[in-house]
Chain A
Amino acid sequence: MHELSVCQAMLAQVEAIAKREQASRVERIVVRIGPLSGVVPELLRQAFTIARAGSVAAEAELDTELQQVRIRCRQCGAECAASSNRMICCECGDFRTQLISGDELLLASVELIRE
């Protein structure tokens, strides 16, 4: 349920960008979310339908681009796809790996209308 807090933080950023760009409204918001960010895209979209009311993004669409969990092994150097709760190296099986992607919680872009 912290998705509503995240959504409100996102809308505050979008409002600031719209003001800076002198836009009258926002048409589309694109966010990138990794499974290890702790945010569920579906819940963020639901929170958005509530939080956007009365904002510059009241009629905007929210696109959530889901990122994949990928790791790099610090022992053998292999890069592998992984899952949130199994992040061991796919080549040598070592657990000392580094996350390359999968924890993103990024506002990627916004599409604005200037009228």
Chain B
Amino acid sequence: MCDTCGCNITEGNRHLVEEGGKHAHSEDGSVAVEVLQNLLSENDHQAAHNREHFDRHQLLAVNLMSSPGSGKTRLLETTIDRLKARYRIAVVEGDLETENDAERIREKGVEAVQITTGTACHLDAHMIHNALHRMDLDQVDILFIENVGNLVCPASFDLGQHLNITLLSVTEGDDKPSKYPVIFRAADLVLITKSDLLAVMDEFSPERAEQAVRQLAVEVPVTQTSAKSGEGFETWLDWLEEQIELQKARRSQGETRTPKLQPEGAKLHAGEG
């Protein structure tokens, strides 16, 4: 009750007000409050809510991240062509401006919601939540989220997805994983795209690209694909279908999945907080 004479300090709370304690007062009268909370906890809270929403609708949510122009939309177009007879697919498109990508997806006969972020360089969990209000998820088996083309910022924001895929096109250089480690460490699958161009891009070595991924302590599959020639597409589709089955199995156990890094990080930091 009394902060003046200290009569409210008991054996039970003394450690809080002593130097270094949670409510320690410094000489100038300021109060230090220990927090140890993730800076993005508000986003993470919304992301968890989105994930529950996806799980309730029994769908698999997949987040695609890459540089602009590395073939995310093209990958989705071919994937839709190949899978739409067997699975109900929907897409959330993220870009700074235009409906162009959503229109490309709609031409394939699939529902697409475009998020235009204006100046924001990434999607966040709140933007996804708003987009979900514009979709009928009862009609969806796989929801692809195509993040804003950017190899930096999207890696920091959980959207509620179950899986992250990081794309690396052969025109970008095989050392990209070394230059942008955060986004490649977040991947559950690394897709080397536009592999039909390897014949003319002799400076890109898929082996060196994979080596650069391994140097980040990343064990996930690294697969080559070409949405144009169809090369490597079976491997990618097999992986995706396996993930759909794994998600169904998790749902039947009442479980879910967060992208690779978050459980590891949360567990290791729990000791501090």
Main secondary structure of the interface of A (DSSP, over half): mixed
Q: Are B39 and A31 in touch, CB under 8 angstroms?
A: yes
Q: Are B30 and A85 in touch, CB under 8 angstroms?
A: no
Number of A-B residue pairs, CB cutoff 8 Å, is: 126
Q: Are B185 and A36 in touch, CB under 8 angstroms?
A: yes
**Shortest Cβ distance from A16 into chain B, in angstroms?**
9
**If the complex has contacts A98-B264, A99-B264, A111-B26, are A6 and B35 also in contact, measured as CB distance less than 8 A?**
no
Main secondary structure of the interface of B (DSSP, over half): mixed
Q: Determine if A88 is an interface residue (Cβ-Cβ < 8 Å).
A: yes
**What size tier do the contact residues of chain B reach?**
35 or more
Q: B32 contacts which of A1, A6, A84, A110 (Cβ < 8 Å)?
A: A110
Q: Are B43 and A38 in touch, CB under 8 angstroms?
A: no
**Bound form: Cα–Cα A100–B157 in Å:** 20
Q: Are A110 and B35 in touch, CB under 8 angstroms?
A: yes
CB interface residues, A 70-104, toward B, < 8 Å: 71, 84-88, 95-101, 103-104
**Shortest Cβ distance from A35 into chain B, in angstroms?**
9
Q: Determine if A37 is an interface residue (Cβ-Cβ < 8 Å).
A: yes
Residues from chain A with Cβ under 8 Å of B261 in the complex: 103
**Bound form: Cα–Cα A101–B215 in Å:** 17
20 more A-B residue pairs beyond the given contacts A2-B156, A39-B156, with a C-beta to C-beta distance below 8 A: A2-B122, A6-B156, A12-B42, A13-B37, A21-B33, A85-B181, A85-B216, A88-B214, A88-B215, A95-B214, A97-B217, A99-B268, A103-B265, A105-B156, A107-B36, A108-B34, A109-B33, A110-B33, A111-B26, A111-B32
